[in-house]
Structure 1
Amino acid sequence: MFHPKKVAISVVLSVSLFVVGCAEEKTETAAKTPPPLNVETVTVHKKKLPLWMQYTGMTKASSDQEIRARVSGRLEKIYFRDGAYVKEGDRLFLIEQSEYKSNLRSAKAKKQRDLASLALAKADMNRYRPLVKDGLAPRATLEEYEAKYGELLATVEADNAAIQNAELALSYTRITAPVSGQVSARRVDVGNLVGYGESTLLTTILQSDKIYAYFSPSESDVQKIYKFRSRKKLPAFIEVRGQGEDVLKRKRLDGYVDFANNTVDPLTSTISMRATIDNRGRSVYPGTFVYINVFVTDEFDFIMVPPQAVFEDQLGKFVYTVDADSTTKRTSVTTNYSSRYYTGIAEGLHDGDRVVISGLMKVKDGRLLEPTDVTETKGIVAVMKAHKLIPDEVTE
């Protein structure tokens, strides 16, 4: 039997369920759509920027002098404090001299005796020459005097050599610094016997006003450096931590590359190179691990991005760029040069592209963004200026 009230109730229930379902669907859709992600971006441009290639390496003193005893004897004096800075010619050690002074006096006395004998032989020779000429004396006697005179001349020459050796040995008892630098701790104490049996090591001097920074770029990097370099003498610098109140700051020490090995290490496919660094303030010690920055060229156009913006997966390297509608786009790129401060992009980016540099763990392809352009403060030019890689007058 047909009941109008029941039909009306059923229609109302159906409409209610439909409205509720639509509302839930809209709520669920709204919940699945995340809000725009706040990120920082930089706008890239292709321009001439100085290309610096960066490597890790170790410093070494430009001169490492071992100070050894060249004569034997008892050590009498030490003139320096352990670890002090000494100048070339400064006194370091004194070995007892009595024996060597005695040897020198003996050598000089022997020369005086031989000079007296030489004078007598010369007088005898001069006296006999006219007698032999006039036939009043045999020639054999004159020849004996001439031979004696020549023998004594040779003896005096030997005496001169003996005196020089004695003076040299005496000078070796006074040990001075061959170069300026920092002296190590003494290896022997006053009163010790030195120089017996072997050349005793007394101390060492490291010359660090000028310091070497050794690094090992790959063979391909070395080929690129020499292919694209725009200067014959390649500038280089290292950064070291400051001292005193500036301990948190980094100090730049400049120099130049002055050596590259002529062979490739077969185990690592690298080539050893060296930069000579001005270290007059002795800001860095030998044996310190450092970053060496080597200038290559400023004559080519590059597009550069911060290193953290470049990702790599099974499909290759990519960055996240921002479309006109503020949506993320995965952009495949090919890189060339890179350092701690930038990565060069060979292919994939163009002038004016906006590259995401923050919030990268949350960014996905197609994600709606709320981008903030920080090119002026965090762009490549700003970063390179901060590390003194380019002049201040260069702009983005």
Structure 2
Amino acid sequence: MRKPTSTRLLISLLTLVIAATAFWFWNRPSANRPETRAAIPVRVVKVKQEDVPRYVSTIGSVLSLHSVVIRAQVEGILTRLLVKEGQMVKQGDLLATLDDRAIRASLAQAQAQLEQSQAQLQVANVDLKRYRLLSTDNSVSRQTLDQQQALVNRLHATILGDQAAIAAAQVQLSYTQIRSPVSGRVGIRTVDEGNLLRGNDAQGLFSVTQIDPIGVEFSLPQKWLSTLQALVVNPAQAKVLAYVEGDGDSGGILLGEGRLTLIDNQISANTGTLRAKAEFDNPQLRLWPGQLVSLKIQTALDRAARVVPPTVVQRGIDQSFVYRVTGDTVESVPVQVLYQDSTLNVISGVEVNDVLVVDGQSRLKPGARVEVLNAATMLEPTRGAQP
């Protein structure tokens, strides 16, 4: 009866030893097991080489290059309005007419007076010629000849005065036809047909505002003075982009592309800013006088620049750096940011076609093993600075 008990005891001891050995094997120190590093998933991009324009951004106000308030220059009844509100007109187009009957009567009177003076001069010249013949044998006195000569001179002066009166009446008559002094758009009318207009009326009929081309005025800090001066004298005029509701990098709508034309002749002592003006062709009338727009003024062009998305560049304690993929690991490469905007960075310190990490840097350190998620469809830098 003791033998089966010993056998069971031996089996129990063997089972305990096997369990202890298995427990030790699975829980032995990690230093004695081979270390396996998991690859960190990242997305990458290649360094591209492009010509990158540099821009400075500001806010500008759209203004007409030529705006005129149409007023009457003579007194008269407004007889006809020949244009509608909002109509586009050209320089010299007839806009309105005034009652011209009184001025035409004055013109006719001046013309009749001229004809009368010319007839009197004709008679006086005949008498003067006769008196000169008679004076050779003293048939008339010298005094009579001189008086006749004075009469002829006076009639000459009278004719000049009559001609001036005719010219003045013709000018007054021309004022009864109101023509556009500039090509542009007719504004809101303030006077209707049948009203009496006077030359000293403060309120005009309407305004005509030139919209194409159009200007945009803006201000920049005075540190940009030398840059703008160089841009203005450059035969290749600096490009200016106008946006509404943000600039091109933040989803703004491009309204037009213009060129820098003018820098003001002084810097504001109160704000330390200088004013400048750009001119835009505006055939689609997308820019409107009084409108506020976002501007991007091209200040330079970096040729053959090394371009990467902004998320590639990491900020270190002392300098910026990027993670470059070499094989299946990464290395830290210090770089210098030469120019940046919201969609790209121009950097130095890397070569064209270097593969850099664009997403997933938070878990990386030099020498870390990586798994490229977008190897088949390599991301490329997005071109910012493009209209």
Tell me the TM-score normalized by structure 1: 0.73
In the superposition, relative to structure 1, how do residues 86 and 228 fare at CA in structure 2: closer, same or farther (>3 Å)? Answer: closer
Given that residues 181 and 205 in structure 1 are in contact (C-alpha distance below 8 angstroms), is that contact kept between their aligned partners in structure 2?
yes
In the superposition, relative to structure 1, how do residues 16 and 377 fare at CA in structure 2: closer, same or farther (>3 Å)? Answer: closer
Where does residue 261 of structure 1 map in the other structure?
264
Where does residue 223 of structure 1 map in the other structure?
226
Deviation at 1:296, TM superposition (A): 3.1
Q: Secondary structure at the match of 1:272?
A: strand
Where does residue 394 of structure 1 map in the other structure?
none
Deviation at 1:164, TM superposition (A): 1.0
Deviation at 1:80, TM superposition (A): 1.1
Where does residue 289 of structure 1 map in the other structure?
293
Given that residues 308 and 344 in structure 2 are in contact (C-alpha distance below 8 angstroms), is that contact kept between their aligned partners in structure 1?
yes
Residue identity opposite 2:51 in structure 1 = L
In the superposition, relative to structure 1, how do residues 230 and 173 fare at CA in structure 2: closer, same or farther (>3 Å)? Answer: closer
In the superposition, relative to structure 1, how do residues 190 and 351 fare at CA in structure 2: closer, same or farther (>3 Å)? Answer: same
Q: Secondary structure at the match of 2:64?
A: strand
Q: Secondary structure at the match of 1:149?
A: helix
Where does residue 167 of structure 1 map in the other structure?
170
Where does residue 101 of structure 2 map in the other structure?
98
Structure 1: segments with no counterpart, 5+ residues: 242-247, 389-396
Q: Secondary structure at the match of 2:212?
A: strand
Describe how 1:111-130 pairs up with structure 2 within 5 A: 111-130=114-133
Deviation at 1:184, TM superposition (A): 0.8
Query: 2:235 aligned with 1:212, yes or no?
Result: no
Where does residue 86 of structure 2 map in the other structure?
83
Whole-angstrom CA distance in 1 between matches of 2:230 and 2:328: 41
CA deviations over 1:234-273 (Å, ceiling 9, x no partner): 24253668xxxxxx99667444332233433444444333
Whole-angstrom CA distance in 1 between matches of 2:300 and 2:46: 25
Whole-angstrom CA distance in 1 between matches of 2:88 and 2:211: 10
In terms of mean alpha carbon deviation, does 138-147 or 248-257 score higher?
248-257
CA deviations over 1:146-183 (Å, ceiling 9, x no partner): 11211111111111111111111111111112222211
Q: Secondary structure at the match of 2:326?
A: coil
Q: Cα RMSD between the aligned structures?
A: 4.4
Given that residues 66 and 204 in structure 1 are in contact (C-alpha distance below 8 angstroms), is that contact kept between their aligned partners in structure 2?
yes
Q: Secondary structure at the match of 1:271?
A: strand
In terms of mean alpha carbon deviation, does 267-276 or 142-151 score higher?
267-276
Deviation at 1:281, TM superposition (A): 2.9
Tell me the TM-score normalized by structure 2: 0.74
Aligned equivalent of 1:324, options 308, 323, 326? 326
Residue identity opposite 1:53 in structure 2 = Y
In the superposition, relative to structure 1, how do residues 74 and 319 fare at CA in structure 2: closer, same or farther (>3 Å)? Answer: farther
CA deviations over 1:277-327 (Å, ceiling 9, x no partner): 2222323323241433426346x44233335655769x5773643443767
Deviation at 1:83, TM superposition (A): 0.8
In the superposition, relative to structure 1, how do residues 289 and 229 fare at CA in structure 2: closer, same or farther (>3 Å)? Answer: closer
Given that residues 233 and 257 in structure 1 are in contact (C-alpha distance below 8 angstroms), is that contact kept between their aligned partners in structure 2?
no
Where does residue 344 of structure 1 map in the other structure?
346
Aligned equivalent of 2:160, options 152, 157, 161? 157
Whole-angstrom CA distance in 2 between matches of 1:216 and 1:118: 67
In the superposition, relative to structure 1, how do residues 358 and 274 fare at CA in structure 2: closer, same or farther (>3 Å)? Answer: farther
Whole-angstrom CA distance in 1 between matches of 2:274 and 2:378: 38
Where does residue 71 of structure 2 map in the other structure?
68
Q: Secondary structure at the match of 1:321?
A: strand
Whole-angstrom CA distance in 1 between matches of 2:261 and 2:203: 34
Deviation at 1:363, TM superposition (A): 6.7
Aligned equivalent of 1:142, options 131, 142, 145? 145
Q: Secondary structure at the match of 1:99?
A: helix
Given that residues 64 and 204 in structure 1 are in contact (C-alpha distance below 8 angstroms), is that contact kept between their aligned partners in structure 2?
yes
Given that residues 323 and 332 in structure 2 are in contact (C-alpha distance below 8 angstroms), is that contact kept between their aligned partners in structure 1?
yes
Deviation at 1:103, TM superposition (A): 1.8
Where does residue 195 of structure 1 map in the other structure?
198
Deviation at 1:34, TM superposition (A): 9.5
Given that residues 261 and 278 in structure 2 are in contact (C-alpha distance below 8 angstroms), is that contact kept between their aligned partners in structure 1?
yes
Name which one, 1 or 2, has greater alpha-carbon Rg.
2
Q: Secondary structure at the match of 1:188?
A: coil
Given that residues 233 and 256 in structure 1 are in contact (C-alpha distance below 8 angstroms), is that contact kept between their aligned partners in structure 2?
no
